[in-house]
Amino acid sequence: MMIYRTKKLGFKFAVLDGKGAPAQFLADFFAEGSLKDIKALEKLAHFSDVMTYEIEHINTDALFDLQSRGFSMYPSPSVLSIIQDKLLQKELFEKKGLPSASFFAEDDPSKADFSKRKFPLVQKARKEGYDGRGVRILKSAADKPISVPSIFEELVDIDKELAVMTARGRDGSIAVFPVTEMAFNQDHNICDTVIAPARVDKKTEQSACEIAVNVVKALDGVGVFGVEFFLDKQGNVLLNEVAPRPHNSGHYTMEACVTCQFEQHIRAITGLPLGDTTLVNPSVMINLLGQSGSSGALLINGYEESLKVPGLSLHLYGKNETRPFRKMGHFTVTSKTLDDALLKAEYARSILKINGENQEK
């Protein structure tokens, strides 16, 4: 999406990813390899004036080495190393006085004594977790935690989950996108729906935007950052997590904002002026997840019918194989009113389904 939204600005793109990656067919140069392979990363660096990433699971030691040799990359490896470890994230938030849920850490949760802890707790693996993986709700001391180094947070009494895409340029300039409201698939803790603008009051909106700006400043980040929040039942805005890249909660910007998050990211890391983040029309973005019990080659139900929905834009990611709850694409519906966008998006959701050729019986 970064490629096809910023080719218009004259950039050329080199991509490092696995065989058959969707970006392979759009890139000017494609290197097949692992993001943890030092030689593969070095090969990419030699093709690039500036490097960036759209996933956190990268060999940061290799990136530090490349940076020390003069290769340019944003956000910096130091930012990534903090984001990769949820404990380091939380400690930074705490040090900077940014509001978030109280927490404690355990290197070996299987041996920890939880008998005196207050439940319920949310366990989050310090590293390698995403899209609900590495997360477990512990309702009592009888529940078994995942046996990996983790942080444990108090379970927030959530009213809404919010997000703010925030961009910071190489010159320190900052641009903030509208506050969005996220709904999650409760069974798998995967973002399901993003509503822009969020249905919150002005005070909540201002608080979320101020915290998001302070987060990016605290990280000394360059690029686009997805900053996620909890809004609790008492009206408090609590910082949850940060993604140092374009984020699922910002996909709506492709249709709904003057400048989309992908173009904004490229502008930021290349030193160009940041673009206008104005929301042109209310929008609803819905992720297209692989259906339960379905895997294999992609089959789409409701494709043509969904494209008849006024204001709908469909994005299929070009992944070769579907799996249960894997993100295979998304669609966005824009309209003059949020209520109309919601109605049309829910109709499209009801008819547009992602299946695989293999169905469990």
User: Is residue 89 a part of any domain in this protein?
Assistant: no
pLDDT category at 129 given cuts 50, 70, 90 is confident
User: Is residue 241 a part of any domain in this protein?
Assistant: yes
Instruction: Summarize the confidence of residues 5-19 as an average pLDDT.
Output: 94
For residues 228 and 317, membership in a common domain is answered with: yes
Tokens representing 134 are 């590495």
Question: Residue 100 pLDDT > 90, yes or no?
Answer: yes
User: Is residue 251 a part of any domain in this protein?
Assistant: yes
For residues 210 and 345, membership in a common domain is answered with: yes
For residues 113 and 184, membership in a common domain is answered with: no
The reported pLDDT for the residue numbered 330 is: 97
| pLDDT tens-digit series, residues 228-285 | 999 999 999 999 999 999 999 999 999 999 999 999 999 999 999 999 999 999 999 9
Total structural domains within the chain: 3
User: Is residue 78 a part of any domain in this protein?
Assistant: no
For residues 51 and 192, membership in a common domain is answered with: no
Question: Residue 133 pLDDT > 80, yes or no?
Answer: no
Instruction: Summarize the confidence of residues 134-138 as an average pLDDT.
Output: 89
For residues 65 and 106, membership in a common domain is answered with: no
User: Is residue 80 a part of any domain in this protein?
Assistant: no
For residues 13 and 128, membership in a common domain is answered with: no
The reported pLDDT for the residue numbered 115 is: 86
Tell me which of 73, 88, 122 is where a domain ends.
Answer: 73
Tell me which of 137, 154, 171 is where a domain ends.
Answer: 154
Strands 237-243 and 223-232, by their bridges, are antiparallel
For residues 350 and 280, membership in a common domain is answered with: yes
The reported pLDDT for the residue numbered 184 is: 84
Tokens representing 233 are 């039942």
| pLDDT tens-digit series, residues 297-321 | 999 999 999 999 999 999 999 998 9
The reported pLDDT for the residue numbered 134 is: 83
Range of the domain at 40: 2-73
pLDDT category at 294 given cuts 50, 70, 90 is confident
Average pLDDT value over all residues in the chain:
94
User: Is residue 94 a part of any domain in this protein?
Assistant: no
pLDDT category at 128 given cuts 50, 70, 90 is confident
For residues 248 and 130, membership in a common domain is answered with: no
Cβ pair 15, 28 in contact under 8 A: no
For residues 130 and 268, membership in a common domain is answered with: no
Strands 327-334 and 312-316, by their bridges, are antiparallel
Query: How far apart, in whole angstroms, are the C-alpha atoms of residue 77 and residue 62?
Result: 9
Question: Residue 188 pLDDT > 80, yes or no?
Answer: no
pLDDT category at 20 given cuts 50, 70, 90 is confident
For residues 164 and 223, membership in a common domain is answered with: yes
User: Is residue 225 a part of any domain in this protein?
Assistant: yes
Tokens representing 164 are 């703010």
Amino acid at 277: T
Question: What is the three-class DSSP state of 223?
Answer: strand
CATH, residue 53:
3.40.50.20
For residues 122 and 246, membership in a common domain is answered with: no
For residues 195 and 148, membership in a common domain is answered with: no
Q: Give the residue, 316 or 132, on which the prediction is more confident.
A: 316
Query: How far apart, in whole angstroms, are the C-alpha atoms of residue 136 and residue 124?
Result: 7
C-alpha 164: how far from chain center: 11
Is residue 52 classed exposed, middle or buried when 0-12, 13-18 and 19+ CB atoms within 10 A define those classes?
A: buried
Q: What is the DSSP letter of 73?
A: B
Task: Spell out the SS3 assignment of 32-63.
Answer: ECCCCCHHHHHHHHHCCCCECCCCCCCCHHHH
Most distant CA pair in the chain: distance in Å? Answer: 60
Is residue 49 classed exposed, middle or buried when 0-12, 13-18 and 19+ CB atoms within 10 A define those classes?
A: exposed
